[in-house]
Amino acid sequence: MSTQPRVLISAMLKWYLHHTARAFEQREALSGYWVSNANITGVKNYRRIWPYHLLKKPFYHLPFVQLEEWSRWLFLPAYDAWLLRQTLPADTNVVMAPMGSAELLFQLADRQQKPVLKVFDAPNSHPRLYARLWRQECDEFSPGYQIPFPDSAINRISREIEQADLILCPSVFVKDSMVAEGVPESKCHVRHFGVDTSIFKPRPAVPQKPVFISVGSICLRKGHQYLFRAFAELRKTYPEARLICIGGLRPDFEKEWPAWQGIVEYHSLLPQQRIPELLQEATAFVLASVEEGFARVLSEAMAAGLPIIATHESGATTVVEDGKQGLIVPARSITALHKAMARLTSDPALNQRMGAAALEAGAIGNTWQDYGDNLLQRISQALAAKLSA
């Protein structure tokens, strides 16, 4: 029996999976791609999950983010019903799905007359930790806010992880969260997401005035409540300092936000070419996440030659060595964030060295094709082991 992977990917939402599908297609390893919310080019065996898509479509365009997130789980039975009517392509020997999308697909695989490798793609930490950390931040900074991640989703994703033969972890933090919840480390494969670094150019020099940049949704999980407080401390010493934040304002941060308007520079959305320009003008990139799978903006900032200030929980320790490409700080530590920003402001030579090291590490082997090739190599090994068992 062939150990050449032929992977079928299925998902409620595309997230980053269209990149994975294209990378697999380039290696003739994609058996099919089933997803609800994307018309994708460059993939032969694409099918749209229409029942789920039609139910979700109004919520893609509504300004109420909370409704979109709740509807993701509310309409899951429509995704399941569609999946139950499907037949795996004859050549499929691997099925792969992200959180919430895998349970019925794995059942479909188990009904086959041949071994089929079941791969769980983990965009975030283990769901029990994910929910616990998010609720903890809401209890302190947004009392009364109910996270749009019901217990039914937590239980379902936990079952998917247990049923999987292989778990794709985009960071060491995600792997650690799986192991802490009893998942065998041997089932976990760590490889950070790819990124298109071609549009990012190295900054010409360390700016004379401190400019820090953070890209990602303004929310409690990404730790902006700590970043903003640390920046306020920095401005006591460097009143000319700037903090530029790019990303949509999430509902869980609405109680916090009024205190920071006018102190941080905020852009909900910018043209794609503008972000590389801003990165070239920055002192460092900062990501204070309390929970995250792997922030792809880390690789983008590194490709621009920026030193990184980030937490382990952001996924940064997968690509950043503390003291080499940047500074790793404890989550929730205002003091550590403040000291890190002050250090990279006061020591331009250190800033330059870390930026150069970040550029070297961030510009090589980080494309989406590199990512897909790495996954295929590990999937091949796991498939061979399953077939020989």
- Is 206 domain-assigned? no
pLDDT of residue 66: 75
- Clarify whether residues 187 and 326 are in a common domain: no
Q: Cβ distance 302 to 362 under 8 Å?
A: yes
Is the pLDDT at 169 greater than 70? The verdict is yes
- Is 204 domain-assigned? no
Percent of the residues in the chain that have a pLDDT greater than 70, as a whole number: 98
End-to-end distance of the chain based on CA atoms, in angstroms?
13
In which band, very low, low, confident or very high, does the pLDDT at 100 lie, cut at 50, 70 and 90? very high
Instruction: Quote the domain boundaries for residue 132.
Output: 7-194+367-388
- Clarify whether residues 245 and 373 are in a common domain: no
What stretches of 95-126 show up as alpha helix (H) in DSSP?
103-110
Is the pLDDT at 165 greater than 90? The verdict is yes
- Clarify whether residues 163 and 223 are in a common domain: no
- Clarify whether residues 340 and 378 are in a common domain: no
Q: Specify the CATH number for the domain of residue 83.
A: 3.40.50.2000
- Is 97 domain-assigned? yes
Q: What is the pLDDT of residues 285-296, one digit of tens each?
A: 999 999 999 999
- Clarify whether residues 345 and 377 are in a common domain: no
Is the pLDDT at 62 greater than 70? The verdict is no
Mean pLDDT of all residues in 75-93: 95
- Clarify whether residues 357 and 372 are in a common domain: no
What are the Cα distances from residue 27, in Å, to 14, 30, 43, 372?
20, 8, 12, 9
CA-nearest of 69, 223, 64 to 137 is 223
Using alpha carbons only, how large is the chain's radius of gyration in Å?
A: 21
Q: What is the pLDDT of residues 303-347, one digit of tens each?
A: 999 999 999 999 999 999 999 999 999 999 999 999 999 999 999
- Clarify whether residues 267 and 289 are in a common domain: yes
- Clarify whether residues 371 and 355 are in a common domain: no
β-sheet bridge partners, residue 169: 190
Q: What is the pLDDT of residues 114-147, one digit of tens each?
A: 999 999 999 999 999 999 999 999 999 999 999 9
3-class SS shares of the chain: helix, strand, coil, % to 5: 45, 15, 40
- Clarify whether residues 154 and 263 are in a common domain: no
- Clarify whether residues 164 and 224 are in a common domain: no
- Is 199 domain-assigned? no
Q: Cβ distance 387 to 3 under 8 Å?
A: yes
- Clarify whether residues 240 and 336 are in a common domain: yes
CA dist., res. 182 & res. 172, Å (int): 16
> What contacts 172, CB < 8 A, 6 or more positions away?
190, 312, 315, 317, 318
pTM (predicted TM-score): 0.95
- Is 205 domain-assigned? no
Mean pLDDT of the chain: 94
In which band, very low, low, confident or very high, does the pLDDT at 37 lie, cut at 50, 70 and 90? confident
pLDDT of residue 68: 82
pLDDT of residue 64: 67
Q: What is the pLDDT of residues 222-238, one digit of tens each?
A: 999 999 999 999 999 99
Burial class (CB in 10 A: 0-12, 13-18, 19+), 44: exposed
Number of domains in the chain: 2
pLDDT of residue 69: 86
CA-angle at 150, arms to 148 and 152, nearest 5°? 150
Is the pLDDT at 365 greater than 80? The verdict is no
35 membership: H or E segment, kind and range: strand 30-35
pLDDT of residue 63: 61
- Clarify whether residues 170 and 230 are in a common domain: no
